[in-house]
Structure 1
């Protein structure tokens, strides 16, 4: 997907899951991959991007993959990880699969740009959330609102594209390392 000269990348970056952290931009990396694993092992061959049936993996300026949630979501099919010959993705389990719960290290939160915070009826993010991490709740004022169950969020990005106010963004935060892995940054998508 070519970018036109002069395109405002602020909104585009937001929809693509890129945001600033400490004054610099970072990208959401493919499922089961971290910033550290991509930086250390990615050869920029493009195999993961070509293998993605949803076409959500694009190349950053260094040719390394990042996730673009602006049109659709990750289905956790694992094609990107299977296609990669480098040591970028978390290894598959004994049954050849990777746990969906470990695919992304981000969850969604709700920003004030959400129409529901102004009393305008909109449930598009919740309607697109198969994991039911985003749900409508009448107890939220003024006219109900979207409640997040962070534990249920898979980080798939299905709630990002349908949002009419671009109320979804991705933030990075530090999380402790899993056994045998270095500390990483955690992505937090805000809906």
Structure 2
């Protein structure tokens, strides 16, 4: 008879956080806005994903407080869960800006941002199981990809801001779009923070 080894509880929780992040990033990237009501649906759904993420992070913290032994350093488990949560918080906040500012049509720069953010989430989801199956060398290339996508967002941000200040004549609209661009770049920065945490875990446990 073959017995399957039970998955470590921290591995299971972190994989759930990464899976929820990937699912939310897909929704964030794919949802099509058309009117004011759409922005509320968008913001409400992202809030649901964010609430789920918060619940999972709370479970991680509870398990850390109740565990004497962890598969990797408890500080790294905490940092990884929080950095992934920061990405999701950023998406939820940005979705709220679309509703608050009644932005009913995404532009080409926003689509480039969300495509890169989605790709970051894909690499993050791939990375988490590798930590707990001792395939640490395979994490490094994924972390590099995440950083490459973040660099892409830096370029998109510069192009978006240059274009915005060159063509926008409505100061209120300029302020709205500027804030959205800045928050989208911040989401990418948070993805890079996840990559940095992953690399730190690899270095400590290699």
TM range (shorter): under 0.3
Normalized against structure 2, the TM-score is what?
0.25
Q: If each structure's helix is expressed as a fraction of its own residues, which one has the higher value?
A: 2
User: Whose relative contact order is higher, 1 or 2, with alpha carbons under 8 Å and at least 6 apart?
Assistant: 2
Q: If each structure's strand is expressed as a fraction of its own residues, which one has the higher value?
A: 1
Normalized against structure 1, the TM-score is what?
0.27
Point out the structure with max Rg over C-alpha. Answer: 2
